[in-house]
Amino acid sequence: MPERTATIASRSGLHARPAALFAEAAGNAGVDVTISMQGEPADEALDAASILSLMTLGAAKGDVVVLRADGDGADQALDALVTLLETDLDAE
Amino acid sequence: MQNFPGVGVSPGRIIGTIRQMPKPISEPPAGQQLPAGVTPEDATAGLKAAAQAVHDELKARAAHATGDGKAVLEATALMAKDTMLLKGAAKLVARGVSSERAIWESGSSVSEMLHNLGGYMAERATDVLDVRARIVAELRGVPAPGIPSSNTPFVLVAEDLAPADTATLDPNKVLALVTAGGGPQSHTAIIARSLGLPAVVAAVGVDELPDGIEVYVDGAAGAITAEPDDSLRAAAEAWAATASLLADFSGTGTTSDGHLVPLLANVGGGKDAEAAAKLGAQGVGLFRTEFCFLERDTEPTVEEQAAAYKSVFDAFPGKKVVLRTLDAGADKPLPFLTDSTEPNPALGVRGYRTDFTTPGVLERQLEAIALAEKQSEADVWVMAPMISTAEEAARFASMCSEAGIKTPGVMVEVPSAALTAESILREVGFASLGTNDLTQYAMAADRQLGPLAALNTPWQPAVLRLVGLTVEGSRAEGHNKPVGVCGEAAADPALAVVLTGLGVSTLSMTARSLAAVAAVLKTVTLEEAQQLAKLALSAPSATEARAWVREKLPVLHELGL
């Protein structure tokens, strides 16, 4: 299964506005994307399109997360989502 | 024309169309099952459709919002169709639970989880409950809870408003407030006065009026008329002209013979304070510190608190700012301080008393106040709410002195404090009468209850007696310690004259009322005010006390107050 790691760039972490923007993008990705903290087992990964799951993940700025997806277009979708996580969305 | 008599709580005469505030969404009964003939698949599909509709509605509102409001609406919209929330509900539906009950329970568990995570997440817990209520409303086909959104200004009609509604009430969209319940001291009244909106409370039957009907609201007389005629239209137009005359306050409160009565403002934070300074307030007589923290689930840090306090101090350099320590409990619960399961919260652990059950919070607040004071030029006074005995006053004074706060004081809201004012004032530097709670406790009448509105007025001769006794206590103590009033009573121009006559030294009110109070006060001498105070004390009822005093103040009629 394709997977990527990304370092959270937003100052407030994956909360508030960055979490909302990311959840929305993951929901529109066309494939089911999961997210977990680096080092956590894949079967405990959370739904990346769920803003509530993202909040419970509690990823802060500088934390490394793992994104996973399967199916047609998974690689492209993951690349786009990594770019989003590695942008400081609070600065916009 | 149909008339609905009520109690006027904030003056102004206005005509507008009404929008009803939807009733709160009731909890679907525990154990409620899917109706016969509805499969779990159908119910889950229905739930998803309702969630999508709520999402779309919030998203559309976000498009029109700006700043923080926009971000909150966008995040809340996403929560509506969140898989965590919906999967939790779908599991329950698969076991035969009704869709309303399923989303209700799923919302509870998600909200509890966020709450337990603390910090920012805990603050979002209430957003999940809001989304849950919206989805249930959608499933039931009833309007979503909360203040209705509208593109045109309207008269808001509700059962009663809560402090939390203030945040979502847009004063540019609301022309007047009308409630079927609530009393003169209810939150609706306080919100209306602070926003300068005409308001009538306890107007039985108004909640049955259909949306879109035109009404005339007279916030001084306490009258609402549906489908007003031309004479009422003329009255509304005449008010608009008077209102502009009452907009200015010179910045010095005085009687006609030069007895100075500084007119101060009641504020809830930095923005309020700046607005009050612009309206000419001579200082702050009541800074309600809990309003900085009402949305909070956890205790703010000392630094956060100091920044919030400094924002108020900075609006009044060189002037008096009286800060009230956290007044949580009863109708203003704070999760980190108060127990929401008390059977009798108005008589429970609230105000200063929360220091008995949660020691440390008050100490840290005093530390934050001292820190903010050092960085500002305001003359900072600090008072504790809900003081009942001289012993409590002494303990509070020693806590203040340990924190380095020079001027400690107490609120007089409990009748016992008014009756023992002399010994209490031996312990502290000043007293401030909170007439809203003092009235509620003196009359044993819950200030939120519409049916008790007639009891719940500071015009009650018993309440005026307690004010007088507090002033006498200060005189007996012998050091001329100031006794002010910071309750809503000070915002009533006629009552302000009576309070001055009773010997109250400062009056603190919502900044919008400063000009009206100053205009009336400067038409009487101190001796006349003293005579009016005697007249009010001698009245057999609140109604007569008010009527007798108003009759002697023709200026009220001239100004439409």
CB contact (8 A) between residue B84 and residue A20: no
Scanning every residue of chain A, which has its alpha carbon at the shortest distance from the alpha carbon of B55? A24
- Mean pLDDT on B322-348: 83
**Same domain, residue pair B359 and B494:** yes
- Mean pLDDT on B510-522: 91
**Same domain, residue pair B124 and B164:** no
Query: How far, in Å, CA of B104 to CA of B372, rounded?
Result: 43
**Same domain, residue pair B206 and B355:** no
Burial (Cβ within 10 Å: 0-12, 13-18, ≥19) of residue B384:
buried
Given B140, B165, B182, the domain boundary residue is B140
Give A49's contacts in chain B (Cβ within 8 Å): 83
Q: How confident is the model at residue B164 (pLDDT cuts 50, 70, 90)?
A: low
Helix (H, G, I), strand (E, B) or coil at B354: helix
Q: Is the CA virtual torsion A19, A21, A23, A25 positive or negative?
A: negative
Scanning every residue of chain A, which has its alpha carbon at the shortest distance from the alpha carbon of B109? A52
Inside any domain, residue B258: no
Average pLDDT over chain A, rounded to whole? 90
CB contact (8 A) between residue B82 and residue A24: no
| Residue of B52, B84, B127 to mutate, testing the A interface (most A Cβ within 10 Å of its Cβ) | B84
The CATH code of the domain that includes B473 is 3.20.20.60
Q: Which domain holds residue B184?
A: 2-21+147-231
The CATH code of the domain that includes B96 is 1.10.274.10
**Same domain, residue pair B352 and B227:** no
Inside any domain, residue B548: yes
Inside any domain, residue B87: yes
CB contact (8 A) between residue B74 and residue A47: no
Give the DSSP letter of residue B24: P
Give the distance from CA A2 to its chain's centroid: 14
Q: How confident is the model at residue A1 (pLDDT cuts 50, 70, 90)?
A: confident
Q: How confident is the model at residue A12 (pLDDT cuts 50, 70, 90)?
A: confident
pLDDT higher than threshold 90 for residue B235: no
Question: Minimal CA–CA distance to B269: which of B166, B374, B367?
Answer: B166
Distance to chain A for B110, nearest Cα, Å: 8
pLDDT of residue B546: 95
pLDDT digit string, tens, across residues B31-70: 999 999 999 999 999 999 999 999 998 888 888 777 666 7
pLDDT of residue B498: 98
pLDDT of residue B237: 87
CB contact (8 A) between residue B120 and residue A16: yes
Burial (Cβ within 10 Å: 0-12, 13-18, ≥19) of residue B172:
exposed
A53 contact B CB<8A: yes
pLDDT of residue B167: 61
Scanning every residue of chain B, which has its alpha carbon at the shortest distance from the alpha carbon of A48? B83
pLDDT of residue B58: 87
Q: Which domain holds residue A15?
A: 3-91
CB contact (8 A) between residue A50 and residue B117: no
Inside any domain, residue B253: no
CB B429 within 8 A of CB B408: yes
Give B51's contacts in chain A (Cβ within 8 Å): none
Inside any domain, residue B366: yes
Amino acid at B11: P
- For the question of residue A15 being annotated catalytic, the response is yes
Inside any domain, residue B172: yes
Q: Where are the alpha helices (DSSP H) in B95-171?
A: 99-117, 119-140, 165-168
Q: Both tokens of residue B170?
A: 């847009």
CB contact (8 A) between residue A58 and residue B71: no
Q: What would the DSSP string read from start to end of B119-130?
A: HHHHHHHHHHHH
- With a CB cutoff of 8 Å and minimum separation 6, the contacts of B251 are B280, B282
Question: Minimal CA–CA distance to B414: which of B394, B391, B444?
Answer: B444
Of A45 and B248, the structure prediction assigns the larger pLDDT to: A45
Given B124, B140, B156, the domain boundary residue is B140
| Residue of A55, A56, A57, A89 to mutate, testing the B interface (most B Cβ within 10 Å of its Cβ) | A55
Number of domains in chain B: 3
Question: Minimal CA–CA distance to B164: which of B344, B405, B331?
Answer: B331
- The lowest-confidence range among B20-24, B212-216, B265-269 is B20-24
φ, ψ for residue B332 (rounded to 5)? -125, 70
Q: Both tokens of residue A4?
A: 């990527």
